[in-house]
Amino acid sequence: MITRREFLAASSASLFTPGALDPRTPFAGAPSPRSGPAAVVTKDVTLAAAEQPWYATMRRCGQLNLNERDPQTLDVSSWIDYWASLKLDALLLNGGGIVAFYPTQVPYHHRSEFLGSRDLFGELAAATKARGMRLVARMDCNYAYEDAVKAHPEWFERNRDGSPRPHGESPWLFKTCMFSPYFTDQMPAIYREIGERYPVDGFFTNGWPSTGDLTVCHCENCQRVFREKVGATPPDRVDATNGYYRKYYDVYMDRVLEVWRRWQAVVTEKRPDSVYVGNLGGGIRTVKNVKRLGEVARWFNADHQGRGGDTVIWDCAQQGRVAQAVMDGRTVTNVTGAYSNSRPTWRHVSKAPAETIMWMAQTAASGMVPWFHWLGGAPEDMRWKAVGRDFFTWLAANEPHFRNRRSIADVAVLYPQRTIAFYRSGTQPRDWRGAERAQTADYLQGLYYALLEGRVFFDFVHEDNLRPETLGRYRALLIPNAAYLSDNHCQRIREYVAGGGSLLATFETSRYDEWGGDRFDLELGDVFDATAGDVASPAGNSYMRIESRHPTLTGFEETALLPGPEQRVAVRARGVAPAASAPLTPLTVVPYYPAFPPEMVFPRTPRTDQPAALFRENGRSRVAYFPGDIDRTFWRSGNPDLGLLLQNTVRWLRGTDRPPVSLDGDGIVETFAWETEPGYALHILNYTNPNMTRGFVRKFYAIGPQKAEFRVAAGRRIKEVRALRAARAVPFTQDGDIVRFEVPGVTDYEVVALT
């Protein structure tokens, strides 16, 4: 666990000696033994709070996103009054990039047509600083006007036919190329101009680099990159089966980090405590390597503003878990759109207030800093204002309890980024496993939902962060079909299990190397005690037969059959681990038989000796391997047997160890437990809602009392337990290091502080 002192040391190292930190590590598959700033440990140096970068202690952020016309009418003082009423630490306001909101002298930096004689950014900067808020200049590096295309054709992305790429909705703007001097000359010139004229504390770029797909541009710079570094033009879409894509992926990530580091250096030329903030996010659906991004980012901003369609409500908490997995306690913010960023999007009306509250609550619960965002300086809809102010003033009133030192979870879920980004079942472009690309996250989603229902306290660990210092914090590691793992990833997992850690893994975990090269067996087969054959074709109406009783089968006493996973790897037990107990196969496969018509619905092979699960025990370590995709099948079918099987298995993995925190009661909740500066905090998010899996949440449905057991440090006497949202003391008892209390009920969100 990273200590506060290490955190301070790491933060200040980032601040004062940027050159001392080499954020580059060998790419996935060979994580560096010293991967990232969090590993910088200074044992004998205690740094004062004043020496931390200012953004390390920031707890509330806001943003007014100006449009080109705003300089005509913007009322600076009333806006600054509003943002100050939210007790913000930092405010983001538009500096420039696409549009300059000040009288810039940088050529081809387009001044707002409506700027007139005003220096709007200057007025805003002075007013922001006068109210004691930090100011971050919001920039956009992604588009510029046609006059720049004519003067600097080399700055812009090109199609195969050489034409520049206009913006889809605003076609007078053209997309700039990340490999061009626009990023290395023009943007730094703008940063320097703003930094010299105005008291800014940092710079944020909208839209770049993002965590999504790579772009493929055909400008002259990019063609040279393809020739010299890639070997050929890479495919336009994600395709890790293609060798040129693989090379381009690394070259692309290298360029992102190079630009990021260069901009960080530029913005700190005059102000050593300034910071460059890129635009990340993507929730659990990322393509770019977030671990590498986390190594260069001093501040991880997730531009993950809301959800649309059938996206689940916990999408924001998942964003927090991904970001925490790569930032190790360093600053993470998450933007909440106050406007209706659904599909379709309405920029100028408010989102449903309950949805906005739940998004901000997830941000805070998962240890991120809320960043409240409105577009346009002349709103006609004011409903969003009170929603943000009420939540932020409550946060401010309880601020010490949101200063987290560490997560208390003792279960880790491996975040299988490369599987989510690249997973294929064949070599054809459309061969995503499960038929569509979106399904690559369903394995994780199914496990996640089972953990919510089972009320397990857990963290994500990124597959490139499986260092012993990281995994050693956890009693069990859960792997939702990490099909694509490098030899090195597998070796780290093997060592974790050999050291007494428990493991759950599903389906094709470790079947392929980090780029999807088929190993034709499971690299972790020695750990699972399994040898893999082919993947059985996706099929419903297959079963798992209960052959013998086992703790993972508690609750299934009245049935001999459980629903079978839709996809499974045919496996046989190796039985080659003399040091361990023989593998147990209490569940066997009953293969598919017709589901229609009813006359034909009977098992042709009612019993096999093929394992549907393999359980091993070796000292403290317990290993459960499910050759089927029970996680994904649970998510897609909703059959609760599969969720219960996963929950029972997590319980069994612990052996006799008790979880550090438990919470019993009705309702679907997501929980986080943190050690905080003043003590401890238990966060409970109430998702019990008809709009849990389809937005927006319109109102809350309160849940009743929740019984909690919370283990505190040995010798720590708890003096008060307080429900911060209900604003009242909670009766409690303490028995040794176990504190017991009952949370009286939760409407939207509750934070119980133990001090």
Return the number of the residue (179 or 615) whose C-beta is nearest Zn ion. Answer: 179
Binding-site size for Zn ion (CB under 5 A) equals 5
Structural tokens at position 137: 């200049």
Structural tokens at position 7: 């955190």
Are the CB atoms for 426 and 493 separated by under 8 Å?
A: no
Structural tokens at position 294: 């986390």
Taking CA atoms, 97 is separated from 110, 241, 604, in Å, by 8, 37, 67
By CB under 5 A, what part of segment 619-658 binds Zn ion? none
Least distance (Å) from Zn ion to the CB of residue 176? 9
115's CB contacts (< 8 A; 6+ apart) are 71, 100, 101, 102, 103
Are the CB atoms for 157 and 112 separated by under 8 Å?
A: no
Q: Which one of 218-226, 387-395, 396-404, 413-421 is the stretch in contact with Zn ion (CB under 5 A)?
A: 218-226
Least distance (Å) from Zn ion to the CB of residue 238? 18
Return the number of the residue (257 or 553) whose C-beta is nearest Zn ion. Answer: 257
Cα 312 from chain centroid (whole Å): 14
Least distance (Å) from Zn ion to the CB of residue 255? 10
Return the number of the residue (165 or 307) whose C-beta is nearest Zn ion. Answer: 165
Residue type, 448: Y
Return the number of the residue (179 or 592) whose C-beta is nearest Zn ion. Answer: 179
Number of neighbours of residue 483 by Cβ within 10 angstroms: 26
Strand partners, 721: 754
The candidate with the shortest Cα–Cα distance to 296, out of 330, 250, 335, 320, is: 330
Q: Which one of 206-214, 216-224, 444-452, 665-673 is the stretch in contact with Zn ion (CB under 5 A)?
A: 216-224
C-alpha 272/C-alpha 31 separation (Å) is: 30
Least distance (Å) from Zn ion to the CB of residue 159? 11
Q: Which one of 210-218, 310-318, 354-362, 455-463 is the stretch in contact with Zn ion (CB under 5 A)?
A: 210-218
Return the number of the residue (217 or 646) whose C-beta is nearest Zn ion. Answer: 217
Return the number of the residue (222 or 414) whose C-beta is nearest Zn ion. Answer: 222
Does 214 help bind Zn ion (rule: CB under 5 A)? no
Least distance (Å) from Zn ion to the CB of residue 180? 6
Return the number of the residue (223 or 618) whose C-beta is nearest Zn ion. Answer: 223
Work out whether strand 369-375 and strand 61-65 pair parallel, antiparallel, or are unpaired.
Answer: parallel
Return the number of the residue (99 or 219) whose C-beta is nearest Zn ion. Answer: 219
Q: Which one of 105-113, 176-184, 700-708, 734-742 is the stretch in contact with Zn ion (CB under 5 A)?
A: 176-184
Number of neighbours of residue 400 by Cβ within 10 angstroms: 13
With H, G, I as helix, E, B as strand and everything else as coil, classify residue 298.
Answer: coil
Q: Which one of 40-48, 54-62, 171-179, 334-342 is the stretch in contact with Zn ion (CB under 5 A)?
A: 171-179
Are the CB atoms for 294 and 300 separated by under 8 Å?
A: yes
Q: Which one of 42-50, 173-181, 418-426, 540-548 is the stretch in contact with Zn ion (CB under 5 A)?
A: 173-181
Least distance (Å) from Zn ion to the CB of residue 146? 18
Neighbour-count burial of 229, counting CB atoms closer than 10 A to its CB (0-12 exposed, 13-18 middle, 19+ buried): middle
Least distance (Å) from Zn ion to the CB of residue 157? 5
Least distance (Å) from Zn ion to the CB of residue 654? 52
Least distance (Å) from Zn ion to the CB of residue 118? 35
C-alpha 255/C-alpha 242 separation (Å) is: 20
Least distance (Å) from Zn ion to the CB of residue 181? 11
Q: Which one of 170-178, 185-193, 534-542, 687-695 is the stretch in contact with Zn ion (CB under 5 A)?
A: 170-178
Least distance (Å) from Zn ion to the CB of residue 178? 7
C-alpha 54/C-alpha 208 separation (Å) is: 23
344: preceding bond cis by omega (within 30 degrees)? yes
Least distance (Å) from Zn ion to the CB of residue 225? 8
**Type and span of the H or E element at 656:** none
Q: What angle do CA 645, 650, 652 make, to 5 degrees?
A: 90
Does 219 help bind Zn ion (rule: CB under 5 A)? yes
C-alpha 138/C-alpha 275 separation (Å) is: 12
Among 9, 139, 173, 177, the residue binding Zn ion under the rule CB under 5 A is: 177
Q: Which one of 177-185, 320-328, 619-627, 669-677 is the stretch in contact with Zn ion (CB under 5 A)?
A: 177-185
Return the number of the residue (232 or 601) whose C-beta is nearest Zn ion. Answer: 232
Least distance (Å) from Zn ion to the CB of residue 184? 13
Return the number of the residue (217 or 327) whose C-beta is nearest Zn ion. Answer: 217
User: 172-201 b/e with 16+ CB inside 10 Å = b?
Assistant: ebbbbbbbbebbeebbbbbbebbbebbebb
> Which position has the token pair 């959800």?
307
Binding mask 653-692 for Zn ion (x = CB under 5 A): ----------------------------------------
Return the number of the residue (179 or 543) whose C-beta is nearest Zn ion. Answer: 179
Return the number of the residue (38 or 225) whose C-beta is nearest Zn ion. Answer: 225
230's CB contacts (< 8 A; 6+ apart) are 244, 247, 248, 251
Return the number of the residue (86 or 222) whose C-beta is nearest Zn ion. Answer: 222
C-alpha 412/C-alpha 475 separation (Å) is: 8
Least distance (Å) from Zn ion to the CB of residue 481? 35
Does 141 help bind Zn ion (rule: CB under 5 A)? no
| DSSP letter, residue 658 | P
Torsion, Cα 456 736 400 52, to 10 degrees, reads -90
Return the number of the residue (177 or 681) whose C-beta is nearest Zn ion. Answer: 177
Least distance (Å) from Zn ion to the CB of residue 550? 57
Among 217, 411, 476, 685, the residue binding Zn ion under the rule CB under 5 A is: 217
228's CB contacts (< 8 A; 6+ apart) are none
C-alpha 486/C-alpha 53 separation (Å) is: 36
C-alpha 299/C-alpha 320 separation (Å) is: 13
By CB under 5 A, what part of segment 178-207 binds Zn ion? 179
Return the number of the residue (219 or 751) whose C-beta is nearest Zn ion. Answer: 219
Q: Which one of 161-169, 217-225, 615-623, 736-744 is the stretch in contact with Zn ion (CB under 5 A)?
A: 217-225
C-alpha 283/C-alpha 302 separation (Å) is: 8
Return the number of the residue (158 or 683) whose C-beta is nearest Zn ion. Answer: 158
Among 222, 238, 297, 522, the residue binding Zn ion under the rule CB under 5 A is: 222
Residues near Zn ion (CB under 5 A): 177, 179, 217, 219, 222
